[in-house]
Each structure stands twice: as structure tokens, then as C-alpha cells.
Amino acid sequence: MRKHSRSGILSVLIFALAWLGTHPAAAQTCVGDCGGDGEVTVDELITGVNMALGVTPLSACPPFDANGDGEVTIDELLVAVNNALGSCGSNPTPTPTPSTDPWFFQNPAPTGEDLFGVSFLDSLNGWAVGSFSEVLKTVDGGQTWNEQLINDSVTLFGVKFTDSTHGWAVGESGTIYRTLDGGDNWNPQSSGTTEDLDGVSFVDSANGWTAGTTGTILHTTNGGDSWAAQVSNTTRDLNAITFTDSQNGWAVGALGTILHTSNGGTNWSPQTSNTGSDLYAVAFFDSLHGIAVGDSGTILRTADGGNQWTLQISPMVTALYGAAYGDANTAWIVGDFADDTGEGLILYSNNGGASWTPQDENNSNTLYAVAGFDSLTAQIVGGGGTLLRSTDGANWDLQNPATTNEIFGVAFPPGNSTEGYVVGDFGAIAKTTDGGDTWLSQDSQTVESLFCATSIDPQVAWAGGSNGAIVVTHDGGANWLPQESNTTESIFGMKFLTGTLGWAVGSQGTVRTTNDGGQTWNAQASNTGNDLYSVSFVDSQNGFIVGDLGTVLHTTNGGVTWTPQSSGTDEPLFGVTCVNASVCWAVGGTPDDTSPTQIILNTTTGGQSWVAQNVYCGNDPNQPDTTDCPDALFAVAAVDAQQVWAVGDFGLILASRDGVRWEPQDSPATDPLDAVTFIDSQNGYATGGRGTIIKTTTGGR
């Protein structure tokens, strides 16, 4: 321990004694509260001074070491004096939070908006549209995508280009935009309706159609300078429309609706679909051969222009949202997240749609639209800005620079805010070397979901996941290698203190430890069958684990023995962080759309007692209230005994600046946030659903 100036420390003590003679101590857990009784006494201040001088060991009163750096500084003594004088009251006045983007998105890129429509002229030149008027363009087959500006915030559902300059996008509330310069500029057109427009089809730069809710069909013969309604003879929602030439077209929609025209829409006639399922997409290779898809895995096929539609055997029962031909024999269908695989759905046919086979893409987002170019090449767009490409008809590559899957773990080496890792579903790993300005995918050599990560320096990191998966890199992620965990239980939490010493925890009470960097993992007895979600060690001996049903385990001998502690709750605890052997936080609760629960626990006694802490989200800053922030918390991170953050469901971020009182921070995320880490009091990262990575450089304030 570094020795401090004896005269400076004694001056602090003399000042404290003089003032404490006339000022009572405040009831509050503060720096210097050795006894955990809510006040800082003269005797405790003397103990702190002796620890700073090196006369008394730090273990005599760990709360004096506010930042957990293994020593007591003059600044920490001054904080303790102020606490004793009452400046750190039990209900301090909240500090206002600046509203200037304290947290900002870094991933997904180039966008995190859902993409609902795609149009390609050829295998190189294409556009995609989605929520909040998102428009993306590529001229190199999707190797790079650039955003184009539409100054609006409506959702765009469909897009169609007829050549490199002429294009249209349609969407909510009758929205139609046109470009005459390849998307550099988009101008609104008057549709004459406020119905949502869900699909658009053009056969040349003049003749086009769009379809939408309540049976709406609009037609233009002048590129959209004017749009005229056509009589559909239905009030059912129409979700898609396609034309093979200026005369022959089809529209599909709710309750199995299929409409056909052979005269450019002057007359629309119903066709028998033989299904009552909603239909979301229709594609024709020519005027005879087509497919329509929809709810519950519905696939319809026709070989005579729709005079007869045949229900096909579908390998999936999830909703299907998009369909496209590559050639007369090759076709793809895309759709919703499939429960049995966890992936967005891709179906493939090489016989014109007579039979369909699922394809893997290792992406957990719903897929909404597909464009086919030939028997080998196709493009898919989907939720969370997902961009997928196949050049062999079977394997799909993510074109986003980093994953759009849910990201469950984040790890930065101690003291390093520029180089770090994130991990997630289907073996996703991405790394940054520039503070998150760019995140690039790495090959994890596994398709197991990765739930946690830990790093000791920019070159060395571990990740753990489903079925006992553990992978390690010693070269900054250029190569990830599997390690044998000796378990098939999921690994939910990991912590390494050095390049050799680490722990992993997981389902069914699993605890593993290694002292050789993971070359061998040995079991430790947790004496519980509950799932264990998070682990924190402050040194080689002192650690905590939290898990299901309020489980808290504690060790003072490196895990040789784990002792249960009373958390006072039976709610799941998903995250734990400790700044020293005495001061820790645990967070959790039950995620639920209507009746969630939220848990924040704190100990300043090494877990001898865990105390629930208050959150102030209501209108009265002096009254605990979670009405506006009730959601479960999934992770917690602290930099010292006062500054701590927690993240959770629906993008929730809470923070404390005194280790006691919690307040919300402005979050740009709406998906669940599963992990959080802070390198110092200013620089932090949080990750979560649909590839979310957000960062703060202001402590979230």
C-alpha cells in the first residue's frame, strides 16, 4: 500500500474532530461506515486514517476504499468526513441529468431499423426500406450499404425500382415517395388515401400499382404524378401486389384473399385460395407460375395463373412474410422466428415450389423480404437491420459489419475503453479496437449461443454459452479456440482475474474453475440445483454468485466452498458486481409485459446482509417510485462504492451516484439490455436485443 503524507492525513483528522464536536452524524450508508449502521463515527475516521498510513490493514474497514483500488486516499478520507458531517444525507437532492444523448447507438450498422422491403435491379444494385423512413442502397451486391434520406418518420413497407434512377417507396398512412436519381433525393407523391400501403409493383417507369388496407389498390400511368383508385371488390387488407406485365397482376391479403387482373386492374376478380390464413407475399416467375405465402406456414402454388392454387406441404408453421424466384425452378421464402431453431426462417425450393427445405443462416431476427437473381444468388432483409446474402443458393452471409443477433455479453479489459468484445446468439462475436466506432464480426468456431464474456487484455478473452461451450482467444480474436468445460450445462457467467485464474457458472448449479487459462476446467460444489447467472470475484479468494430464486452464494477461499446467503427475495437474480470484498450489488426480477418485478440489492458487509435499494422514477424526486421504470434488470456494473449502473428489459438503464439512490438514465434502446460494463466513471457500454450496442462517454448523464 502506498503511504500518504502523515501531516496531510492528520490535518484531515483534526478538521473532522473539531467539526464533529458540534455536528451530529447522519444516518446513511457512506464511505467510512465500517459498522454498516448508517453513520460514520470519530472512531471510524481514526481507523480510516490508520489504514491510509498503513498502520491498520484494509480489511479493518473495507468501505473506506470507495473505488476498490486497494488503498485509502486523502480524497476518500475527505468523503468520509463529509459523510460524518451530514452532507451525504439519507435522501440527497437528485442531480439533474443532461438530456444530450448520454447514451448512443454503435450497432447494428448501417441501421438498426426493421427492414420490410427490398428491390434489386440486378445482383449488384439494390435498395431496402423499413421503419422510420429508412432507405438503404447498395451498388456492390451488399458488400456496402449506404443510407439515403427521406425526411419523414413513417414506416415504409415496400420498394420498387424499374431502372437505376426511377424508384418508389410506399408505407403508412398512404405514404408514397418517388426518386428520379437513384435515391439521392426522394419526393412525396399524393396518393389520395390515408390507408397503409403495404406493397408496390411497377412494370416500367410509368405504370405501377400499390395495395394496402381495406382493399385499397391504386394505379398510376405517369410514374406517380397522379394515382387513381381501382375497384378491388373487397374491404379486406391487401398485403402484397405483383405484376408480370402491364396487364397481369395479383394481390393477396387477409383471410386467404387472392385477387387477379388481366387488364391492368380495370377489373379485379377473386381467386380461390383454399385457405383462410392471412397471406403476406406473392411472387410470380411468369404469367402462369406463382407462389403466395402467409400465416401458419401457409404456402400456395399455381401453374396456371391462379385459376387453381394448391396448398403445399410446409416444413414450418410460423408466419411467412416474403417470397421470390431466382429462376423457374429456384425460389426462396422468408419468415418469422422459428421456435424450434431460434432462427429467422428461410425455405428453399429447387423444383419450382413443389417442395421446400429449411436453410440455416444463424440469425435470430424475423426476416421480411427476399429478392432472387438466379439459381444461386439472393438477398434477404429483416428485423434489426438484418442484411443477408447467398451466392451459392445454400449458405447465407451476414452483410452487416457486426451481428444483428441478441448480444448477451460484453467485455473490455481493465482500464481499456477502446478494445473490447461482445458475444451473442448463434456464436456471434464482434470486436472493436476504436472505442466502438466500428464493430467487426469474428469467427467463434461455434453456433452455440454465447451468453457471457470476460477479458484480461486486448489479446486475451473468453466466452461461454449453451451446451457448455467455452471459447478463448489469445490473439485478439483472429482465432477463437474451443475449450472443454466438462459440462453440457449452459454457461451464463464468467470471470477471469488473470490469464490463468477464472470461474464459470451456469444452469443447474454449475460452477467451474480453472487455474491454467481454461486448458482444464474443474467442478466446484455449489450445493444448489438452481440456475446460476452471474459471478464476480474481487481477488483470488473472495467471490459471489447469483441465480434463480434469489440465490446468492459466497466464497472466501476461491470457491473451494460456496456458502449460501439470504438475499431476502425469491425472484431471479441475473447480475452481480463487487468493488471489494464487502460492497456488492445484485439485480434481477421477473420480466413481464404487464406485471414485471424489479430487484436491486446491496451489501456493505460481504453479504452478511443484503438490503433492497430504492429507485426514483416518479414525479416526486423524494419518493421511491418505479411506476415509470418497473422492468426487470439483467446486469449491473460498478466502478467504485458509489457509482453503479444496471440495465434491463425494454432498454431500461438505472444508475446510482452514491451507491444507494437509483435514478433512470435516458436510453435510446427499446430492446432488452442484457449486459453492461464500465471501464471508468465516464466510459461504458451496454448490449442487448437485435444486435444492440450502446455507449456512453459521460457516465450516462
Question: Which tens digit of pLDDT belongs to each residue from 536-557?
Answer: 999 999 999 999 999 999 999 9
- Residue 222, SS3? coil
When pLDDT is averaged across residues 31-52 and rounded to a whole number, the result is 78
- What confidence tier does 4 reach under pLDDT thresholds 50, 70, 90? very low
User: Any bridge partners for residue 107, and if so which?
Assistant: 693
In 3D space, the residue among 451, 474, 449, 471 whose CA is nearest the CA of residue 462 turns out to be 471
Per-residue CA distances from 604 to 31, 63, 681 (Å): 10, 7, 20
Q: Average pLDDT of 6-33?
A: 49
Q: How many other C-beta atoms are found inside a 10 Å radius of the C-beta of residue 576?
A: 26
Determine the average pLDDT of the residues in 143-155. Answer: 96
Of the two residues 233 and 49, the one the predictor is more confident about is 233
Q: Which three cell numbers stand for residue 91?
A: 435522501
Ramachandran class of 214: left when φ > 0, alpha when ψ lies in -120 to 50, beta otherwise: left
- Residue 105 phi, psi (nearest 5): -75, 140
115-394 with 525-701: one CATH topology?
yes
As beta bridge partners, residue 228 has: 219
Grid cell locating 113: 431499423
CA distance 19 to 413: 43
The pLDDT value given to residue 490: 98
Q: Could you report the per-residue pLDDT of 628-666, keeping only the tens digit for each? A: 999 999 999 999 999 999 999 999 999 999 999 999 999
Q: Among residues 241, 247, 257, 163, which one has the least CA distance to residue 197? A: 241
The arithmetic mean of pLDDT across residues 100-126, rounded, is 95
Grid cell digits, residue 75 = 480524497
Range scoring the smallest mean pLDDT among 101-105, 228-232, 571-575:
101-105
Q: What is the pLDDT of residue 32?
A: 80
Average pLDDT over residues 505-529: 98
**How confident is the model at residue 58, as a pLDDT?**
72
- Which CATH number is associated with domain 115-394? 2.130.10.10
Note the pLDDT of residue 142.
95
CA 596 to chain centre: 19
Q: Whole-angstrom Cα distance, residue 380 to residue 366?
A: 11
665 and 649 in contact (C-beta within 8 Å)? no
Q: How confident is the model at residue 46 (pLDDT cuts 50, 70, 90)?
A: confident
Q: How confident is the model at residue 63 (pLDDT cuts 50, 70, 90)?
A: confident
User: What strand order describes the sheet that includes 310-311?
Assistant: 279-284, 290-294, 299-302, 310-311
Residue 339 has pLDDT above 80, yes or no: no
Model pLDDT, residue 62: 76
Predicted confidence band at 296 (pLDDT cuts at 50, 70, 90)? Answer: very high
User: What are 362's three cell numbers?
Assistant: 444463424
Average pLDDT over residues 201-205: 98
- 12 pLDDT band, cuts 50/70/90, is very low
Quote the longest CA-to-CA distance of the chain: 98
What backbone phi and psi angles, to 5 degrees, belong to 116? Answer: -110, -20
In the predicted structure, residue 21 carries a pLDDT above the cut 60: no
Helix, strand, or coil (residue 468): helix
User: Mean pLDDT across the stretch 1-9?
Assistant: 41
Q: Which single residue is written with the C-alpha cell 452532507?
A: 87
C-alpha cell at 245: 406485365
CATH superfamily membership of 525-701: YVTN repeat-like/Quinoprotein amine dehydrogenase (2.130.10.10)
Of the chain, the percentage scoring pLDDT greater than 90 comes to 84
Best CA proximity match to 107, nearest among 433, 422, 458:
422
Enumerate the domain spans of the chain: 6-85, 115-394, 407-502, 525-701
Residue 2 has pLDDT above 80, yes or no: no
Asked if 286 and 248 count as a contact pair (C-beta separation under 8 A), the reply is: no
C-alpha cell at 151: 425526411
- Here the cell at position 321 is 412474410
DSSP state of 237: -
Say what the pLDDT of residue 410 is. Answer: 98
Of the listed ranges 189-193, 203-207, 327-331, 341-345, the least confidently predicted one is 341-345
Write out pLDDT tens, residues 677-687.
999 999 999 99
Please state, as a whole number, how many other Cβ atoms lie within 10 Å of the Cβ of residue 176. 25
Name the β-bridge partners of 349: 331
Q: Closest Cα partner for 45 from 69, 71, 76?
A: 76
The packing angle between helices 42-53 and 6-20, to 10°, is 180
Tell me if the pTM is above 0.75.
yes
What's the confidence (pLDDT) of residue 91?
A: 36
Share of the chain above pLDDT 70, in %: 92
Strands (E), 298-435: 299-302, 310-311, 320-325, 331-337, 344-349, 357-358, 367-372, 378-382, 387-390, 397-398, 407-411, 420-424, 428-432
What mean pLDDT comes out for the span 205-228? 98
CB distance 185 to 135 below 8 Å: no
Instruction: State yes or no: pLDDT of 92 exceeds 50.
Output: no
Q: What is the pLDDT of residue 23?
A: 43
Residue 557 CA to residue 552 CA, distance in Å, equals 16
Looking at residue 30, what is its pLDDT?
Answer: 65
Q: State the pLDDT at residue 5.
A: 44
All three cell numbers of 162, joined, read: 424499374
pLDDT at 85: 67
Predicted pLDDT of residue 69: 66
- 81 pLDDT band, cuts 50/70/90, is confident
Question: How far is 83 from 42, CA to CA, in rounded Å?
Answer: 11
Task: Residue 299: count other Cβ atoms within 10 Å of its Cβ.
Answer: 24
Mean pLDDT within 206-230: 98
Work out the burial of residue 597: count CB atoms within 10 Å of its CB; fewer than 13 is exposed, 13-18 middle, 19 or more buried.
Answer: middle
**C-alpha span between 220 and 301 (Å, rounded):** 29
Interatomic CA distance for residues 119 and 372, integer angstroms: 10
Mean pLDDT, the chain, rounded, equals: 92
Q: Identify the sign of the CA torsion 649, 653, 654, 658.
A: positive
Q: Measured at the alpha carbon of residue 266, what is the angle toward residues 264 and 267, in degrees to the nearest 5?
A: 105
Alpha-carbon Rg for the chain in angstroms: 30
* Residue 24: predicted pLDDT: 41
